[in-house]
Amino acid sequence: MTTSTVVVVTGLSGAGKSTALHALEDLGFYCVDNLPTPVVAQAVEACERGGVQRLALGIDVRVGTFLDEVKATVDELGARGAREVVVLFLDASDEALLRRFSSTRRPHPLSTLSAPGAEAAAVAVLDGIHAERERLASLRARASLIVDTTALSVHELRARVVARFGPAGGRAPRMRVRLVSFGFKYGAPVDADMLLDVRFLQNPYFVPELTALPGTDARVRDYVLAQADTGELVEHAIGLLRFCLPRYEAEGKSYLTIGIGCTGGRHRSVALAEHFRALLAAPGGPHFDVVHRDVERSAGDGRPSEPGAARGS
């Protein structure tokens, strides 16, 4: 039976719950915020029946009187069905929380303000923070992971969540990498994250027996890969990609598009896209797809697909 993952995101108001939920949503989690406790179990089961295997629930003091039932509900989620339940508790110092509420000018959900003025507002916020700490004490004790956000920026908090629940943490599918061969004369892919121009390599188009063949043909591939410049290009490019790909994945990127272009998109770029996949793909690593956007577009169009000298332009 497939095991689903439920992340309960909770903690003190102002400690970064919204940031954590947004990060989980970017990782592909189905996120529900501030769901009444009595319907949590039914909602999780409904999502699982619908094929949702990764779910994040935001729960805090805004659920009001239902808060007393949260710990029992979380325990029930872990006991029922084939699922892993992780409680992420976000905390911060009183001073940091007070500063954040002051900068946003939002009232604390548990504060009661009876007198006007900044000093009275600060006291009310602190009273709310202290009351919230008491009400969340049992849930904090149940937490699988506690993150103190006192000294963290929103970007640093997002990085912590991604590192724990993203591909690098083994809790999300590995990043998908698309290697797209293309012809510059048809325009570069608009969705490319990285572009590699290989037009400086010798062009198989000007070798009569190779002109009509695509870069997927072994004869074209061998011609392209036999060049000294190709060997040096591959060495540098593979080194760059092996450095960048795990860092993109750790940052939380779920897909990456790498464009490899020659003039017509039929020979050099095609052969190199296939070669790069063969070098980079490894069991347990990111998934690689190869797309040859223009390989047929440049075939037999009745005019030279790559004008210029034999080395291309």
Instruction: Give me the mean pLDDT over the 77-99 stretch.
Output: 84
Per-residue pLDDT of 124-171, as tens digits, reads 778 888 888 888 888 888 888 999 999 899 988 998 898 888 775 555
Of the candidates 133, 152, 169, which is a domain's last residue? 169
* pLDDT for res 241: 95
* pLDDT for res 313: 27
| Among 22, 27, 21, 23, CA closest to 9 | 21
* pLDDT for res 66: 62
Q: Which helix (H) or strand (E) holds 56?
A: strand 54-58
Domain residues for the domain of 189 are: 176-292
Q: How far apart are CA 171 and CA 168, in angstroms?
A: 8
Q: How far apart are CA 219 and CA 264, in angstroms?
A: 18
Task: Specify whether 69 is located in the same domain as 159.
Answer: yes
Task: Specify whether 132 is located in the same domain as 165.
Answer: yes
* Domain containing residue 11: CATH number: 3.40.50.300
Average pLDDT over the chain, rounded to an integer: 83
Task: Specify whether 219 is located in the same domain as 193.
Answer: yes
Q: Is the dihedral of CA 243, 157, 255, 2 positive or negative?
A: positive
- Whether 214 has a pLDDT exceeding 80, the answer reads yes
Per-residue pLDDT of 254-311, as tens digits, reads 789 999 999 999 999 999 999 999 999 988 778 899 999 999 886 654 344 443 333 3
- Fill in the DSSP letter of residue 27: T
* pLDDT for res 308: 35
Task: Specify whether 39 is located in the same domain as 162.
Answer: yes
User: Is the Cβ–Cβ distance between 179 and 288 less than 8 Å?
Assistant: yes
Number of domains in the chain: 2
Q: Model-level pTM greater than 0.75?
A: no
Per-residue pLDDT of 231-257, as tens digits, reads 999 999 999 999 999 888 877 777 899
* pLDDT for res 118: 47
302 Ramachandran zone, left/alpha/beta (phi>0; psi -120 to 50):
left
Q: How far apart are CA 58 and CA 11, in angstroms?
A: 9
Residue 55 in domain? yes
Q: Which helix (H) or strand (E) holds 4?
A: strand 4-11
What's the Cα-to-Cα distance from 13 to each of 94, 126, 251, rounded to whole Å? 11, 12, 26
For the chain, the distance separating the N- and C-terminal CA atoms, rounded to the nearest angstrom, is: 56
Return contacts of 230-235, CB within 8 angstroms, 24+ apart.
230/201, 230/272, 233/198, 233/201, 233/272, 234/272, 234/275, 234/276, 234/279
Cα 64 versus chain centre, distance: 33
Q: Is the dihedral of CA 16, 17, 20, 21 positive or negative?
A: negative
- Whether 120 has a pLDDT exceeding 60, the answer reads no
Task: Specify whether 107 is located in the same domain as 29.
Answer: yes
Residue 312 in domain? no
* pLDDT for res 134: 86
Residue 265 in domain? yes
Task: Specify whether 54 is located in the same domain as 154.
Answer: yes
Residue 299 in domain? no
Instruction: Give me the mean pLDDT over the 48-62 stretch.
Output: 86
